[in-house]
A and B are shown apart, each in its own frame.
Chain A
Amino acid sequence: MHPETSIVKLDSISFDKLMAQQDPFQGEECRIDLSGVRMITPAALVQLAVVCYALEEKARQPIIILDDSSVSTYLARAGFLAAVRPVAHIEPPLFAGFDYERLRGSNPMLIEVSKIETGSDLPPLLDHIVSVLRKRLKYPKYDAFDVATAISEVCQNTFDHNHETCGFIAMQGYGKGSKRFLEIGVGDYGNGLAETLRRNPKNPEIASDIEAIGVATKLGTSEHDDPTRGTGLYHLLEITYKHEGAVQIRSGAGKVRYRMDKRQGWTFSVPYVPGVQIALDLGTKSGRNRKKILDSAK
């Protein structure tokens, strides 16, 4: 068994530390030990769901180990356990006396981990996001549309470029008023950006996952030889820039974190995870106390 992870907050950054410590794609045991973890962000939930489904594709059943009942309850409430139930085993099993799925959609600050399989899954989800942002979180109308547009573009990539896999989305709002911010996670366990972009011979040669991320965010770069394609990740960065947010794009063994107040990306080599996963933080312009808000949410 793995020792405690020493990770208390599992987010899109510490997720890579978890993978480096426990890499479930290597070795015989497929254990993801979340002992010690006390808070998990939506982006990390999506990444974990992606790992579970990617392992299932390799005919392996991951075992997720939890040591805190409140974390177990949160994972159930956040829709994670329902999403991974077909492919993963949870230890210890959650008491089956309450059906948390009945609460799905009832908390305006939360979009539970949801599967995205086709384009028809998206419009109701995006309409709901706009409604929550406008009515409950008091976002100005156009800001809410921007957020939904960014999410739409990213979500469409999960099924547009992959076959026989699916995508996941989760979102949580934190803070209030001018201190609010949103974290949104979207991911898939498909082929990843490098392989996808290599299908179009008009694209430049791509030597690494990090390079693929850089190429994919350029306007007009796509798997498809179609001038109306290849704008999704470009517009994601533009919207994030407009709202001075932050976005992380992870594909295969590379990731780039863009901090848009400086319009700069930092590259990292990370343990391999199939597909593309995106973590988007918006509202940081007015939510500079993000760390404080997150800490108080633990």
Chain B
Amino acid sequence: MERRLLLVNHGKQLWTRERAREIRTELIKIFEGLQPGEAGVIDCKGVEVFDYSFANELFGKTLLSLSREYPERFLLVENLTDYTRENLSKALESLGLIMIERKANKLALLGRVHPADLETFNVIAASREPLTAVALKGKLGINLTAVNERLSKLTGLALIRRQMGVSGAGRQHYTYLAPA
């Protein structure tokens, strides 16, 4: 399940940190109602522009606190224009953050993304089933330590979720999945 914040309800042109702060209150309410594995979606359809202060406050502040305050929930953005995507990417890059954009039912990452992290995320996002670190080791062709480092980073950035699973042999293990 996911819950949406229709950003255009607050205007087509969104300026200032102060404005974003008001909207963030609404976004927090959405996150308070989410269960683990569910996503809050910021739908930017109809929004023409937001400034960097707005992006920092709404997207940046939420992402910075997401894995701590709302663990295992996802934040997605949808329906960005070329312009809003560029501004959001720059804002995220300047904050060292990465977020998930859903575009035509495919997931992509915005911000300054290391190719290794992108590769790992794409494999997890493309998988219909949650993946274990061992399965990823095989798919990525790297050693288990490197896989675990990447998974730890992506989990910390709230881009993927870690959940406890049970193997065919009955052993408990962690599996990783991206939002649907």
Partner of B94, one of A126, A141, A145, A234: A234
Q: Which residues of A contact B82 (CB under 8 A)?
A: 142
* A119 pairs with B17, CB closer than 8 A: yes
**B15 an interface residue at 8 Å Cβ cutoff?**
yes
**CB neighbors of B among A147-164 (8 A):** 148-149, 152-153, 156, 160
A93-137, CB under 8 A of B: which get 1 and which 0?
000000000000000000000000011101100110010000000
**CB neighbors of A among B1-59 (8 A):** 11, 13, 15-19, 48-49, 51-53, 56-57
Q: Which residues of B contact A123 (CB under 8 A)?
A: 11, 13, 15-16, 19
**A220 an interface residue at 8 Å Cβ cutoff?**
yes
Q: Which residues of A contact B48 (CB under 8 A)?
A: 141, 145
Of A118, A152, A160, A238, most buried by chain B (CB within 10 Å of CB) is A152
* B15 pairs with A228, CB closer than 8 A: no
* A228 pairs with B49, CB closer than 8 A: no
Number of residues of chain B lying within 8 A (CB) of chain A: 25
* B18 pairs with A152, CB closer than 8 A: no
Number of residues of chain A lying within 8 A (CB) of chain B: 27
Q: Which residues of B contact A153 (CB under 8 A)?
A: 51-53
Known: A123-B11, A145-B48. Is A228-B56 also a contact (CB below 8 A)?
yes
Known: A227-B64, A228-B60. Is A152-B95 also a contact (CB below 8 A)?
no
Q: How far is the CA of A35 from the CA of B53 in the complex (A)?
A: 41
Q: How far is the CA of A243 from the CA of B16 in the complex (A)?
A: 22
* B17 pairs with A160, CB closer than 8 A: yes
Q: Which residues of A contact B90 (CB under 8 A)?
A: 235, 238
Q: Which residues of B contact A126 (CB under 8 A)?
A: 13, 15
Kindly provide the distance from the CB of B144 to the nearest chain A CB, expressed in whole angstroms.
32
Kindly provide the distance from the CB of B29 to the nearest chain A CB, expressed in whole angstroms.
20
Of B19, B56, B90, most buried by chain A (CB within 10 Å of CB) is B56
* A119 pairs with B56, CB closer than 8 A: no
**CB neighbors of A among B138-165 (8 A):** none
Q: Which residues of A contact B16 (CB under 8 A)?
A: 119, 122-123, 152, 156
* B13 pairs with A231, CB closer than 8 A: no
What are 11 sample pairs from A and B whose C-beta atoms fall under 8 A apart? A142-B82, A145-B13, A148-B13, A152-B53, A156-B16, A156-B17, A156-B53, A227-B96, A229-B56, A234-B94, A235-B94
* Additional pairs, 8, CB under 8 Å, beyond known A148-B49, A227-B95, A231-B95: A141-B83, A149-B51, A152-B16, A156-B16, A227-B60, A228-B61, A228-B95, A231-B53
